[in-house]
Amino acid sequence: MLDLYPPARLLSGLLLVTAAFLAKSRFAIELVYIGVLLAVWATNVGMAHLRFVTFISTPLLVALLFIWGVIAAANHVPPPHHSGVDYAVFSWLRIVVCAGALQCLLVPLIEQPSHLKLFLEKSGLAGSLGTLIVASIIFLPEVRRRLRQIIDARRAQGYSLSGLRGIRDLPTLLMPLVSSLLDSATKRAEFWSHRGVLERTQFKGSPYSYSTQPSALALVLTIATCALGYFG
Amino acid sequence: MRTGVLRVNLHVLAGPNFSGRTHRLRVSVGLPSNPGAGPVYSEGAYIGPDAASAFSGIASTVAAELDLMAADRVSAKRAMRALEDLGFGYCLGLNPFTLSGGEQVVAAVVVATASGPKRLAIDCALEQLSADARTRLLAYLTTLDGHLTIADNRLDEWFHGREGVEELQAQPDSPMIHPDSSVTSESRPSRVEVIDLSHSYVKGRSVLTGLNLIFSAGELCRLRGPNGSGKSTLSKIMCGLIKPSSGEIRVDGRVVKPWLSPGKYVSYHFQNPDYQLFTNSVRLQLSQSKDPTALARSFGLESHLDDHPLDLPFVLKKRVAIASALARSTGYLILDEPTLGQDRISVINQNRIIAYGLSGLVISHSEMFSGLREITLPGPPRG
C-alpha cells in the first residue's frame, strides 16, 4: 500500500468526494470514477471495492433503476436528467465514487489512529483534543474487529450466517457485540484516566515514514480528476 | 541487563478464585474495586487476564503504543530493546489487537514498565505464556525497581519461595466445580488427520508449513508451542473458520472441507468467553445438553442457571462457555486455554469432566495437562 502523507490522503479523499457532487453530467462522474478506480488500484483495496460494488451498491442500482426508470416514468415525474435510467446510473455512480474514495484514502487513515493523532498534533491541535477525535474514530474499526470475532465464534458453533439465516441471527450477534463494546468502553475510560492517556500529548518520535513523490502525485491526479469532472 | 526504570519488590498473592485477589491487586495500584466505579489516577499499572485492556487503543502498532505511553524517549527505546531480547521484537510492527493472547501479555507488560509506574499489578495474565516466555519475562521484571504484585493460578509451576507470599482464602459460598461422570460428551468421537497443511496470512510469511498430524478417536491431546507459533491458526483451520493455503483435513478417513461448513466436524472453544455467549440465561446456553441442570451443577453454575451469562464474572463466563462447548454434539472439540483464570482445584476438576469420553485437543501452557499426548508446533516462523 502507498505510504501517503496523512494530509495528502485526507485532502485527496475529500476532493474526490467533493468532485462526485460537483460533476454535472454522467460523462463527468464517469471520469471521476476512473480516477477513483486508479486510486483503488494504487492503494491495493481492489477486492474490498469489488465486494462493495457487487454486494452493496448493485442492489442499490436495481432499486434506483426501478424508482427512476419504472415508478417515476409511470407517474410522469420528470427526472432531473434527460432519462430516468440516466439519472439512476448518475446517482449510483456518485455513491460508488464516494465509497471508493473512503475505502482507499480515508479508511486506512482511520485504521491507523496513531498516524492520525500525530498528524493532528503536528497541525497544532491540542494533544487531548486529538486523542478524543481519534477515540471517536477508532470506534468503527473496533466494532468491525469484535463483530468478526463474534461471527467466528458463532460459526464455530455450527451456525451458518449466510443468506436469510444470517439476517435472522443478527440480533443474536448484536447482544455480545453491544455488551463487549460497553465493557470495553468502561475499561478503556478507566485505563485512560488511570494512566493519564489524555495528558500524553506528544509522541517521542515518529516511527512512520511516508513517500513524498506518491503523495504529491496523488494530490495532482486528484485535482486533475476533479477539474475533469467539473469541466468535462 | 538492566532494561527498565524500576527494581522490583515482589509481592505474591496466593489464593483460589473468589478470594478477592483482583480487588487487592486493583486497589494496590490505585484503581477502584470494580471497573467504572469512579475516576482514578495514579502512578501504578494493572494488567488483568484480558491484556488487550491494557493498551490505549489509539496506537496502530506496539511501537506506536510504546511511543505514546513511555515516560520518555530513552524508556521507549529500552522497552523496544527489551521486547527484542524477550524474543517478541517482531510484535513492534504489529497491531496490539491482532496479537495472540500471550504476545499481548508480553507487549502490555513491557509497555507498562516503559511508562515508569511505581507499582505494577499482574492479575492471572502470565498463565497465557509458555514456560520459557514466562521465565524470560519474570527475569526482566525482577531487574526493575518499584513494587510488583502478582496473582497467578499457576504459582506452583514457577514460584518456589515463601517470602513475600500472602495466602488468601476463598469466600465460603464460592461456586466449585464438581466432576460428575454422568456429564460426558454426547457425540461419537472422531479421528482427525491434518495432511501437509500450510497457511500464510500475508504472502511470504508462513504461519504453518507442511504440517502432518493425526488425532485419534477418543484421545485428548495437548497442543503446545511458543506464543505466535500458529496454534490458534491450526485450530481455526480444523474448525473451518479459515481456508488453508494448501493441504487437507480428513475426518474418520474421509477428506472433508470444513471451511464450507464451519463447526460441523470440529467445535472450537475460543479463549475469550465474551464472544461465544449468545443467550439470555445460562440454562438456555446449555440447552443443547440432554441434562442442562446436571451439566451446570458439575461446573458449579447451579445457582446461576437463570442469570445472564454476560453478567457473570470472567471465571464463571469461562465455565459457561466450556460447558456449552461440551453440550454440543460434534465428534471433535478444540479448547483454547480452557484453564484461563481458573484456580488449581477448579482446573483439576474441570479436566476430569473434559476427560470423560471426549475426543479433543487442548491448547494450554499449563503444566496441569502434562499427562496428555503432546503435539508441539515449532517456534514462530517469521521468515
* A72 shares a domain with A166: no
User: Counting every residue, how long is chain B?
Assistant: 383
Contact A226, A22 (CB under 8 A): yes
Residue A28: give the domain boundaries.
1-123+211-232
In a domain, residue A184? The reply is yes
* B117 shares a domain with B257: no
In a domain, residue A117? The reply is yes
* A117 shares a domain with A142: no
pLDDT in tens, B292-310: 888 888 888 989 999 999 8
* B323 shares a domain with B248: yes
Instruction: Please list every residue in chain B whose beta carbon sits closer than 8 Å to the beta carbon of residue A154.
Output: 276, 278
Instruction: Please list every residue in chain A whose beta carbon sits closer than 8 Å to the beta carbon of residue B29.
Output: 194
Q: Is the pLDDT of residue B82 over 90?
A: yes
pLDDT in tens, B225-260: 877 788 888 999 999 999 999 999 999 888 888 888
Instruction: Show which of residues 162-201 on chain A sit within 8 Å of chain B, judged by CB atoms.
Output: 172-173, 175-176, 179-180, 183-184, 186-197, 200
* A92 shares a domain with A168: no
Q: Mapping DSSP to helix (H, G, I), strand (E, B) and coil, where does residue A98 land?
A: helix
Average pLDDT across chain A, whole number: 81
* A98 shares a domain with A13: yes
Report residue A81's pLDDT band, with 50, 70 and 90 as the boundaries: low
Return the top range by mean pLDDT from B22-36, B53-67, B157-171.
B53-67
Cell numbers found for residue B113: 514498565
CA nearest B268: which of A148, A155, A161, A150? A155
pLDDT in tens, B270-292: 888 888 999 989 999 998 888 88
Instruction: Return the percentage of chain A with pLDDT > 90, whole number.
Output: 7
Instruction: Show which of residues 49-78 on chain B sit within 8 Å of chain A, judged by CB atoms.
Output: 50, 53-54, 56-61, 63-65, 67-70, 72-73, 76
CA nearest B238: which of B162, B330, B150? B330
* A64 shares a domain with A17: yes
In a domain, residue A98? The reply is yes
In a domain, residue B184? The reply is no
- Transcribe A108-159 into DSSP letters: HHHH-HHHHHHHHHHTT--HHHHHHHHHHHTHHHHHHHHHHHHHHHHHHTT-
Amino acid at A55: F
Select the more confidently predicted residue: A186 or A215. A186
Burial class (CB in 10 A: 0-12, 13-18, 19+), B179: middle
**What is the pLDDT at residue B3?**
42
In a domain, residue B161? The reply is yes
* B237 shares a domain with B116: no
Number of structural domains chain B divides into? 2
Select the more confidently predicted residue: B269 or A138. B269
Q: At A178, phi and psi to the nearest 5?
A: -65, -45
Which of B34, B43, B56, B307 to mutate against chain A (most A CBs within 10 Å)? B56
Instruction: Please list every residue in chain A whose beta carbon sits closer than 8 Å to the beta carbon of residue B262.
Output: 155-156, 158
* A142 shares a domain with A28: no
* A177 shares a domain with A94: no
Which of A140, A152, A188 to mutate against chain B (most B CBs within 10 Å)? A152
In a domain, residue B253? The reply is yes
Select the more confidently predicted residue: A158 or B35. A158
Instruction: Please list every residue in chain B whose beta carbon sits closer than 8 Å to the beta carbon of residue A138.
Output: 57-58
* B207 shares a domain with B149: no
* A106 shares a domain with A43: yes
* A135 shares a domain with A117: no
Instruction: Please list every residue in chain A whose beta carbon sits closer than 8 Å to the beta carbon of residue B58.
Output: 113-114, 117, 131, 134-135, 138, 197
* A94 shares a domain with A26: yes
**What is the pLDDT at residue B306?**
93
Q: Mapping DSSP to helix (H, G, I), strand (E, B) and coil, where does residue A52 land?
A: helix
**What is the pLDDT at residue A206?**
53
Cell numbers found for residue B375: 503435539
* B120 shares a domain with B245: no
**What is the pLDDT at residue A201?**
61
In a domain, residue B150? The reply is yes
The interface pTM score, or ipTM, of the predicted complex is: 0.83
Lowest mean pLDDT: which of A10-24, A159-173, B106-120, B252-266?
A159-173
Instruction: Please list every residue in chain A whose beta carbon sits closer than 8 Å to the beta carbon of residue B328.
Output: 157-158
In a domain, residue B175? The reply is no
Which of A3, A146, A190, A200 to mutate against chain B (most B CBs within 10 Å)? A190
* A75 shares a domain with A9: yes
Cross-chain Cβ contact A197/B68 below 8 Å: yes
**What is the pLDDT at residue B6?**
46
Residue B62: give the domain boundaries.
7-167
* A88 shares a domain with A147: no
**What is the pLDDT at residue B36?**
63
In a domain, residue A148? The reply is yes
Contact B180, B297 (CB under 8 A): yes
Contact B332, B267 (CB under 8 A): yes
Q: Mapping DSSP to helix (H, G, I), strand (E, B) and coil, where does residue B162 land?
A: coil
Return the top range by mean pLDDT from A15-19, A80-84, B126-130, B194-198.
B194-198
In a domain, residue B186? The reply is no
Give the 3-state secondary structure of B22-73. Answer: HHHHHHHCCCCCCCCCCCCCCCEEEECCCHHHHCCCCCCCHHHHHHHHCCCH
Q: Is A210 on the interface with B (CB under 8 A)?
A: no
In a domain, residue B181? The reply is no
Number of structural domains chain A divides into? 2
Burial class (CB in 10 A: 0-12, 13-18, 19+), A142: middle
Which CATH number characterizes residue B199's domain?
A: 3.40.50.300
* CA angle, residues A150, A155, A158, in degrees to nearest 5: 140
Cell numbers found for residue B350: 474441570
- Transcribe B187-248 into DSSP letters: S----EEEEEEEEEEETTEEEEEEEEEEE-TT-EEEEE--TTSSHHHHHHHHHTSS--SEEE
